[in-house]
Each structure stands twice: as C-alpha cells, then as structure tokens.
C-alpha cells in the first residue's frame, strides 16, 4: 500500500428492543481514512488483505439487540425476518439462529451470520424502508401477541449501499458484456444458423393439417384434431362443416342455438335447425339422405303478444326441409295435421296377439288417508280379438289405473263395426231411448245352470219411472226365449223391478207363457245393481252382470 492508500472501517449499529415498543437507534456510519506515511512491505500487504476480507464480512451483517424477559438465562432459537412493509407481505429475507439471552433478558445477534455471504447486497439498494420482525422460532406471530410486530431499520443498514459503489446494480463490472463481446457472439450465432427450437429438438412425425400432440416429453405425433380451411374435424380429416365431430359427444352444460338474427317490425328470425339424418337406398339408384329437424319459428311478430312454436321439419335427398305440421306450443299443446299412430309392442303369432301401446291421460287426486297426491290414469289401447282364426280382429278398450297399479279394462270397448260394449251397471239417466245392453243373471246365469235375461237396447228408467223391456232369455246352450215386459226404478233410485214374460213353444209348449218378477238393488242411486232375486219361472238369486259378446250373440237356430 502506498503512502496515500486508504481502507474503510464500519461502526456497526446498535438497537434497543423494548417489550412495549421497539426502536432502532443506530450510530452514524463513519469512514475513517488513514494516510500511510511510509511504504509497507510484503508482510504488511498480507495483513492488509486479511483486514479487507474481515471488513467485507462485517459489511454483510447487522447487529441487532433485543429483549426476551421470559427467556432470561436461556438459549433458544429466534426467527428473524426483514420486510418491505410494516404489516403483511412476504419476507425479503429471513433466518433462524440460536440466541443466548442474558440474565437481564437482553440479547445481541449479528443478522446474516448464519451464512458465509451474510445479508444479501441488494436488500437495501432500493432506498425504501425496511422493517424487521423477531420472534422465538415456533412461537405465535407478533400479530397475535401484545409485542409490536415489526421495527423500522434506520441509518446503518442502508450503508450497504456503499458496498455497491464499485459495482453496477450489485454486480461486478466483469459480469457485464462489452459491445465488442456482444457483436462477436451475434456473428457466431448467425454463422451457426438458427435452431428449430431454442431448448429442445423434438422427435417424431406428423401429418399436415393435424394439430400436433406431445406423445412424450420430447416426441410429437398427431392428435385427433384436424384443420382444413376454416373447418375443424375431431376424429375426421375431412370435416363437412365448421365443426365436425365423428363419434359420441358428451356436453356437460347447456346447448344453445340462438336466433339467426334480431327481430324487427318487418319480420322475426328462426333458430338454426337441429337436424338428424338417416340414409336409405333407392332401388336402382343410390343412397338418399332422409333428414328430420327441429326449428323454433316466430309467431305473431310485431303484435302485442309475439310468440314462437317448435316445428318438426322433414327433407329427403337434396330437397329443402318443409314443415311436417307437427308443432309444440309454448303452453305444451301439440298440433298435428296428420294421423297419430300408436304401434303395437310386436308382431302377433299363433299363440297370441299383441296390443298397442297405451295412449294415456293422467289426473291427480288427493288421498286423505295417506295425505298424498295419487295419480289417476285412463288409457286407450287396441286389443287383439279372435287371434289365430280366419277372421282376426281387435277392439278399442278403455283402461284405468290408480296410483302405481297396472291399468285394467273398464268394460267399455268399441268394435270395428262401431258397436259399443258398455261396462256392467251402465245406466242412461232420464230413461227412454234405445239405451244399451243390460244383462241379469239368475241362479248363476247362462252357462252355469241358471238363466240370463238380455236386453240389447235397454235404458234404466229415471227415478220413479218405468220403461219397456224387450229382449231374449238364455237358459241353456240351445234354449232361447223371447222376452218382453217393463222395468220400473223406485223413487229412491236403489231398486229396479223387472216384470217380464217369456214365450218359446219348443221349450214351454205351445201357448204357454213363463212370467218372472225380478227385483235388483244397489246401495246408491247410480252404478250397477249388485244383488236381488227372481220370484218367477226362473227363480233364484239375481245380479246385474256384464253383457259379454257371447251373451249378445243370437244364433239363427236354437232349441
């Protein structure tokens, strides 16, 4: 060192930490310069070098003095951290080191002493305030205790800035590239040529038009997504539309088809069509597309009550789609201009026919016993008749079910000829008219050893009134008597009295007449008569029964 060389000394800061408040009282930094009046030999230079190393180390630590009265006389781990803000935020620097607390509860440490480099040189370069936090390791954060959370560092720590006086932004001059070095590096890179990727050289192969897929960390291949012009295909290389998905599609959200435009007084706009296509082959020709589509169509545009309908369209081949006439209204009503067909569940065989699916209508009624709403369902179904005969047929039957029970026939049905078969106990209020079939079985009825009185067109009279009876009586498989008389309904509507006479020369003898006096009763004023008696020729119990098709048949010859 020459006579005029200098070397710096740093007087470190001392702080006072009080349980109720924490302040930092640093000494002002002093740089003492000593002029050497004589030359120093080699041994002196070695001593100076060692001194400079020690001085550099001292410039990288800060002395901190604090107080922990509760840990007096103990050694414990204390966590130190420096922050930019007085509260919150992330620590700019932190360390944990063992601290020996004196008997008076005070301690003193060198911050940054746990590492060779000490505190980072850039910690104080910004010139902004720095706050220190000290707490026993593993203890509660200061925010949860009565101890002031952080203390402001002042004066001495910012002397770190002086260490940077020989550097630029904390870096030595040798760390920077000169203009000559940069020009040389750019020229060398240009001669070597540009690499396809600055970091990696991927392997693998791909197909033009397909979006690439990383099949490994360094290998590329094809994905299932292809792009052709403005169209994208998934699992197809030839997309037919803007987006063409070849395969099952799962949408885990709403599918929206907004209107093709905004309506005005001059006209509304429909939605895009939701199309479904099939393909059929035309004999002697080629495959022909068959397309159905749903479309929302505006109704009542530029009126006080604009609305819309959901219409079903159909198109074949290259023809444009037209309305089928099937529409669903906002109220849920369905309009159609064509037949509605309810197909059978399968094809009939010799062992049995197949009924149609049921056309069901449902109501809800409240059950007071179960305190719940119970579905009440009526249904129409086409039911096969005379299966596996030369003249197979069917009837249209009305069925009913309540709750979860299966629907069963009510007894009301329609024959292909238009003849209506009524349920047992069917009445026709007001009397008169042709009425309907009415059958009364006595002593078990026809086919069970008894007799059945059949009135094909009988109408139960009004309360307190009488009406004619005309029909026939089946008393054996080959015995049929012609019967006539009258029927009267009591004033309370619960008793029906039949007074009839039967004539059959082969069965009763020529000129002989058989008389019967039948009384039928019911519990209410409507419904079937479910009990009674015959006090005449064919005596025994009497009940109103269902007029089956076999009972209503009247053969050409009998007896």
Is 420 part of a structural domain of the chain?
no
pLDDT over 50 at 17, yes or no = no
Alpha-carbon span 460 to 545, nearest angstrom:
14
Is 193 part of a structural domain of the chain?
no
- Tokens representing 300? 């009542």
Q: What is the pLDDT of residues 423-474, one digit of tens each?
A: 765 655 433 345 788 999 999 898 888 899 999 888 889 899 999 999 999 8
Other residues' Cβ atoms within 10 Å of the Cβ of residue 391? 6
Q: Phi and psi at residue 174, in whole multiples of 5°?
A: -70, -15
Among 370, 389, 414, give the residue marking a domain's end.
414
State mean pLDDT over 110-119.
Answer: 88
Is 37 part of a structural domain of the chain?
yes
Q: How many angstroms from the chain centroid is the CA of residue 196?
A: 46
Give yes or no: residues 520 and 457 share one domain. yes
Calculate Rg over the CA atoms of the chain.
Answer: 54
Give yes or no: residues 365 and 453 share one domain. no
Among 141, 166, 191, give the residue marking a domain's end.
166
State mean pLDDT over 364-374.
Answer: 95
Please tell me the predicted confidence (pLDDT) of residue 128: 82
Are 335 and 329 within 8 A, CB to CB?
yes
How many domains are contained in the chain?
3
List, in sequence order, the alpha helices (H) in 428-525: 505-508
Is 391 part of a structural domain of the chain?
yes
* E strands in 14-105: 16-17, 22-23, 62-67, 75-83, 93-100
Other residues' Cβ atoms within 10 Å of the Cβ of residue 496? 22
Are 545 and 441 within 8 A, CB to CB?
yes
Alpha-carbon span 150 to 143, nearest angstrom:
9
Helices (H) and strands (E) in the chain, counts: 5, 31
Is 438 part of a structural domain of the chain?
yes
CA distances from 136 to 23, 66, 70, 93, 471 (A): 19, 12, 11, 17, 114
Q: How many residues in total does the chain contain?
A: 559
Is 314 part of a structural domain of the chain?
no
Look over the chain and give the mean of its residue pLDDT values, rounded to a whole number. 80
Please tell me the predicted confidence (pLDDT) of residue 141: 55
Give yes or no: residues 481 and 521 share one domain. yes
Give yes or no: residues 471 and 392 share one domain. no
Give yes or no: residues 525 and 400 share one domain. no
Q: At a CB cut-off of 8 Å and minimum separation 6, what does 62 contact? A: 12, 13, 110, 111, 112, 119, 153, 156, 157
Please tell me the predicted confidence (pLDDT) of residue 134: 86
Is 301 part of a structural domain of the chain?
no
Judging by DSSP bridges, how do beta strands 75-83 and 243-245 pair with one another?
A: unpaired
Range of the domain at 365: 359-414
Is 468 part of a structural domain of the chain?
yes
State mean pLDDT over 247-263.
Answer: 91
Among 132, 147, 166, give the residue marking a domain's end.
166
Give yes or no: residues 131 and 161 share one domain. yes
Please tell me the predicted confidence (pLDDT) of residue 509: 81
Give yes or no: residues 387 and 450 share one domain. no
State mean pLDDT over 18-39.
Answer: 33
Q: What is the pLDDT of residues 116-161, one digit of tens each?
A: 888 887 787 777 888 888 888 876 555 444 445 788 876 555 555 5
């Amino acid at each position: 060192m020459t006579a005029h060389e200098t070397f710096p000394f740093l007087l470190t800061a001392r702080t006072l930490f009080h349980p109720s408040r924490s302040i930092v009282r640093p000494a002002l930094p002093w740089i003492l310069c000593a002029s050497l009046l004589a030359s120093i030999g080699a041994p002196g230079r070695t001593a100076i070098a060692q001194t400079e190393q020690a001085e550099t180390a001292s410039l990288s630590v800060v002395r901190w003095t604090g107080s922990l009265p509760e840990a007096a006389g103990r050694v414990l781990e204390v966590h130190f951290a420096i922050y930019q803000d007085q509260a919150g935020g992330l620590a700019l620097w932190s360390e944990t080191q063992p601290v020996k607390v004196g008997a008076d509860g005070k301690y003193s440490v060198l911050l940054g002493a746990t590492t060779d480099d000490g505190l980072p040189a850039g910690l104080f370069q910004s010139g902004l305030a720095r706050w220190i936090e000290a707490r026993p390791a593993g203890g509660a954060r200061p925010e949860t205790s009565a101890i002031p959370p952080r203390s402001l560092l002042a004066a001495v720590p910012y002397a770190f800035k002086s260490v940077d006086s020989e550097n630029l932004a904390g870096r030595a001059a040798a760390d920077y590239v000169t203009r000559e070095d940069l020009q040389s590096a750019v020229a060398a890179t240009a001669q070597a040529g540009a690499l396809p990727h600055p970091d990696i050289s991927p392997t693998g192969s791909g197909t033009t038009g397909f979006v690439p897929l990383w099949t490994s960390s360094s290998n590329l291949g094809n994905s299932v997504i292809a792009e052709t012009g403005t169209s994208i295909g998934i699992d197809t290389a030839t997309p037919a539309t803007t987006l063409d998905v070849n395969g099952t599609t799962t949408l885990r959200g709403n599918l929206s088809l907004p209107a093709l435009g905004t309506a005005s007084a001059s006209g509304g706009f429909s939605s895009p069509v939701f199309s479904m296509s099939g393909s059929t082959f035309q004999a002697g020709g080629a495959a022909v597309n068959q397309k159905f589509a749903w479309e929302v169509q505006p109704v009542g545009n530029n009126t006080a009550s604009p609305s819309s309908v959901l219409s079903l369209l159909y198109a074949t081949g290259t023809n444009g789609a037209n309305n089928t006439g099937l529409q669903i209204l906002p109220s849920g009503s369905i309009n159609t201009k064509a037949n509605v067909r309810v197909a059978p569940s399968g094809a009939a065989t010799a062992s049995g026919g197949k009924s149609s699916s049921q056309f069901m209508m449902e109501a809800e009624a409240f059950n007071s016993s179960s305190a719940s709403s119970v579905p009440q369902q009526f249904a129409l179904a086409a039911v096969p008749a005379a299966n596996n005969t030369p003249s197979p047929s069917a009837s249209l039957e009305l069925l009913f079910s309540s709750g979860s029970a299966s629907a069963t026939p009510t007894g009301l049905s329609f024959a292909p000829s238009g003849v209506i078969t009524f349920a047992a106990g069917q009445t026709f209020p007001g009397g008169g008219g042709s009425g309907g079939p009415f059958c009364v079985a006595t002593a078990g009825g026809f086919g069970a050893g008894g007799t059945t009185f059949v009135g094909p067109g009988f109408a139960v009279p009004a309360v307190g009134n009488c009406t004619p009876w005309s029909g026939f009586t089946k008393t054996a498989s080959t015995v049929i008597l012609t019967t006539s008389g009258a029927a009267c309904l009591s004033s309370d509507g619960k008793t029906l009295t039949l007074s009839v006479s039967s004539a059959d020369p082969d069965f009763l003898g020529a000129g002989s007449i058989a008389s019967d006096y039948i009384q039928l009763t019911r519990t209410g004023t409507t419904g079937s008569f479910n009990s009674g008696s015959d006090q005449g020729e064919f005596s025994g119990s009497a009940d109103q029964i269902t007029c089956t098709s076999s009972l209503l048949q009247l053969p050409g010859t009998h007896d």
